[in-house]
Amino acid sequence: MKTFSLPSEEPKGRPDFLSGLNKQQKQAVTHTDGPLLIVAGAGSGKTRVLTYRIAYLLQQYKAAPEQILALTFTNKAAREMKERIQNLIGDKAKKLWMGTFHSIFSKILRFEADKIGYGADFTIYDTNDSQTVIKQILQELNFDPKEIKPKTIHNKISDSKNQLIEADTYQDRFVSSTLDDITARVYKIYNKRLKQSNAMDFDDLLVKPIQLFEQHPDILEKYQDRFKYILIDEYQDTNHAQYKVTKLLAAKYENICVVGDDAQSIYSFRGADISNILNFKEDYEDATQVPLEQNYRSTKAILQCADSIIKQNTKQLDKTLWTDQDYGERITVLENFDERDEANRVASHIQNLKMKHGYKNNNFAILYRTNYQSRVFEEALRRKDLAYQLVGGLSFYQRKEIKDVLAYLTLLVNPHDETNLLRIINEPSRGIGNKSIQDLIKQAREESSSIWNIIQNIEELDVYKPAKARVREFVDMINRLRSNLEGGESISDTVKAMLEQSGYMRALVEENSHESMMRRDNIIELQNAISYYEKGKEKPSLSAFLQEISLITDTDKFDEDKPAITLMTVHASKGLEFPCVFIVGLEENLFPMGARDNFDVDIEEERRLFYVAITRAEERLYFSHCRSRFKFGEEMRQSRSRFLDEVDAGVVQTETGATISQKKDRFENKSSGDSGRDMDYDWKQAHTKKTYKSPSATIHYDYEDGEDPFQVGTKVMHSKFGPGKIISRSGLGTDAKVVVFFKNRGQKKLMLRAAPLQVID
């Protein structure tokens, strides 16, 4: 094993950069030995503290650069920190192990993959790839993927992996319904299929290192000695697997420093466990806790508003944010008729702020709870000729033509990757029909082999003769391209040859449609990205390039310098800041989401999400809500968010400068299923009574317009399928249909007027 030596001489004096830190920041930076919890409030300079702490460890010769592991949640955060450290201490920062959990542990797995039965060039499957595999497995098990959704099964498997529940354990202890039983069966086959394809999914990048370390204590000790100091950013967002793998690595020296803010824990839906940060001092009894409480980002008014919200939560670490900034403008509440009115007024306010105060487009962010809300804002901004960028839309690397080209390239590195092989074996069409492909799959299953191994000897198989010739041509092409790449041909030249020999680019040109030309342009852009990658690397490799792009996130693609207004969900905005922020759609059942019936909804997490949204703002902040909103093709009355009743009334105002009317008791003495209708609005509507009776149901429903009980989120009972929850609705009147997720039967689409449904508490 490689050893790391430190200079024998003592450093002379303290680094000059410490003089720029406040007292709490300096304490966090200079506490070098033992476990450390840094509770970093929003805008308190946590990135600066992490950066300076690493620089301090190096300048004090506490560790060599190779002995410091810094884990982040985005490539962007890692890149920025590394650049800052390099500016402080020079080129030795390049040797730091710094990156996202997934990128760092995939790097370790590349070195150690053979210890757990994988090849070093394993493929990393994204969510779509995983769901493709699961869909195929469901079909092989004779389940209809339209009824049993691959996405649902994948979510269950992903949650299990993050909780370190293996397939056998899931089968033995966690099956309580038909859907669970199907999941257990798929889970086992899914793991086997990935192993045969020499592939790992995102969750495996965290789970497999734990298996590696537990099965090979010598490997664990090697990396414990390598990583003498461990730093983890955004610790409140870690899941159980991330907690476990870092605890294993830190066990020898316990020089673990975690930085986070429990008030910004907003990812429980993807497995984040807030107890990891809340219980850190129980895990490490000798831990020191340092709070960073001075906010450098927001005005006093914005900070006061955020503080009034987060104090409503009961589960939190003790801290009180403060700032030396000016008091600033009070927060303005916009009350709108509907979502179109909301979008138009937000666009108008942006125009006025630009004219009166000189703001630029990239000074603005419009934050919403769910992606579908973006449409009306896009339309409004286009009408006013205001440039915008949408964060969270279809990723460049998720476009069909890009996925196709990357599938070809993946096979050059890992030809056993079944999912990518099946994707392009007849793309573009080369005369290999679905029947022939199914014959190949069947043969592979019978021999417990990969499809690639099967088609190496295609002449010996019972396959349609013309298709057999086409398969042989495909195999020869892949082998030829692999040989050229291994012989030293550049990635760029290999891609060019692949596009020519496969006929992919020619097919797009021959189609000669607007869409095909756009696809061709996207492929050219991918070629540019590959050339740029090669230019910036001393030893570029196709495997490394594929790994790099497989770990790109939406936040990594955000361009803060682009002269455009940013549209994004609150979740996507975490870690960013803007001079002017509009938080829109502040209505019950939208933000907070699902508050009407509290079905699997954590109001404290929704409140933390609102806190995150507020603390993105530096100078000006707007809240916006609608009186009505179109849902399922019908205009429905909206109740403004309970959060608007919780904010400090002294820091918010209406557009006229008046104090907003708050009702603090709107949700008191009511069941969690009460939507808390807001009676602030003077609605002059005719309340025509209607009676809804499901023919097979035993209950009659009397309700007024806008109060139909069969809404998205409602829990229902079906006489045959049992308990479930409405997850979507379409159609009007007697043509209304609902999609219900039943605990024991999966998803069902039902005609509302005929289905024997009853609302349950």
Please indicate if the annotation marks 433 as binding a ligand.
Answer: no
Positions marked catalytic: 46-47, 233-234, 264, 616
Burial category of 12 from C-beta neighbours within 10 Å (exposed 0-12, middle 13-18, buried 19 and up): exposed
C-alpha distance from residue 643 to each of 374, 484, 611, 639 (Å): 21, 61, 10, 11
Q: Is 370 helix (H, G, I), strand (E, B) or coil?
A: coil
Q: Hey, which residues does 751 pair with through a beta bridge?
A: 737
- The owner of tokens 């509907």 is 338
Please indicate if the annotation marks 44 as binding a ligand.
Answer: yes
Contact between residue 704 and residue 687 where contact means Cβ atoms under 8 Å apart: yes
CA angle 224, 230, 236 (to 5 degrees): 125
Q: What is the dihedral of CA 318, 322, 327, 329, to 10 degrees?
A: -50
Q: Is 719 helix (H, G, I), strand (E, B) or coil?
A: coil
Measured CA to CA, the distance from residue 462 to residue 752 in angstroms comes to 49
Please indicate if the annotation marks 244 as binding a ligand.
Answer: no
- The owner of tokens 């005929």 is 754
pTM for the full model? 0.78
Using 50 as the pLDDT threshold, list the residues of the chain that sit under it. 1-3, 5-14, 596-600, 669-706
Measured CA to CA, the distance from residue 644 to residue 625 in angstroms comes to 10
488 Rama class: left (phi>0) / alpha (psi -120 to 50) / beta:
left
Measured CA to CA, the distance from residue 725 to residue 711 in angstroms comes to 10
pLDDT value at residue 665: 67
Please indicate if the annotation marks 43 as binding a ligand.
Answer: yes
Measured CA to CA, the distance from residue 379 to residue 483 in angstroms comes to 50
Please indicate if the annotation marks 72 as binding a ligand.
Answer: no
- The owner of tokens 């915008």 is 388
- Which helix (H) or strand (E) segment holds residue 365: the answer is strand 364-368
Please indicate if the annotation marks 47 as binding a ligand.
Answer: yes
Q: Strand order of the sheet with strand 722-730?
A: 746-751, 737-742, 722-730, 715-718, 757-759
- The owner of tokens 């692999």 is 482
DSSP string, 9-76: SPP-S--GGGGGS-HHHHHHHH--SS-EEEEE-TTS-HHHHHHHHHHHHHHTTSS-GGGEEEEES-HH
Give pairs for 310-315: CB < 8 Å, separation 24+.
310/263, 310/607, 310/608, 310/611, 312/607, 312/646, 313/263, 313/604, 313/607, 313/608, 314/604, 315/262, 315/274, 315/278, 315/604
DSSP string, 266-335: --GGGT--THHHHTHHHHSTT-EEEEE-B-SSS-HHHHHHHHHHHTT-SS------B-SS---PPEEEEE
Contact between residue 577 and residue 612 where contact means Cβ atoms under 8 Å apart: no
Measured CA to CA, the distance from residue 164 to residue 239 in angstroms comes to 10
Measured CA to CA, the distance from residue 503 to residue 490 in angstroms comes to 20
Q: Which residues contact 81 (CB under 8 A, 6 or more apart)?
A: 47, 50, 51, 54, 70, 72, 98
Please indicate if the annotation marks 343 as binding a ligand.
Answer: no
Measured CA to CA, the distance from residue 583 to residue 567 in angstroms comes to 11
Measured CA to CA, the distance from residue 124 to residue 122 in angstroms comes to 7
Please indicate if the annotation marks 34 as binding a ligand.
Answer: no
pLDDT value at residue 732: 67
Measured CA to CA, the distance from residue 464 to residue 466 in angstroms comes to 6
Token representation of residue 243: 């907690």
DSSP string, 130-148: HHHHHHHHHHHTT--TTTS
Closest CA to 678 of 669, 667, 689: 667
Indicate the DSSP class of residue 383: H
Q: Which residues contact 228 (CB under 8 A, 6 or more apart)?
A: 62, 63, 67, 68, 253, 255
pLDDT, tens digit, for every residue of 388-439? 998 876 667 888 999 999 999 999 999 999 999 999 999 999 888 889 899 8
Measured CA to CA, the distance from residue 281 to residue 471 in angstroms comes to 60
pLDDT, tens digit, for every residue of 608-665? 999 999 999 999 999 999 999 887 667 788 999 999 999 999 999 999 888 888 877 6
Q: What are phi and psi of 248, to 5 degrees?
A: -60, -45
Q: Which residues contact 429 (CB under 8 A, 6 or more apart)?
A: 507
Contact between residue 325 and residue 299 where contact means Cβ atoms under 8 Å apart: yes
Q: Is the previous residue joined to 723 through a cis bond, with omega within 30 degrees of 0?
A: no
Q: Is 724 helix (H, G, I), strand (E, B) or coil?
A: strand
pLDDT value at residue 80: 85
Q: What are phi and psi of 490, to 5 degrees?
A: -70, 160
- The owner of tokens 């190496």 is 456
Q: Which residues contact 122 (CB under 8 A, 6 or more apart)?
A: 109, 110, 113, 198, 199, 200, 414
DSSP-derived pairing of the beta strands 229-232 and 288-292: unpaired
| E strands in 539-680 | 565-569, 578-583, 617-626, 628-631, 634-637, 652-654
Neighbours of 393 (CB within 10 A): 15
Measured CA to CA, the distance from residue 493 to residue 487 in angstroms comes to 12
pLDDT value at residue 576: 92
Instruction: List b or e across 231-240, with b for residues whose CB sees 16 or more CB atoms inside 10 angstroms.
Output: bbbbbbbbbb
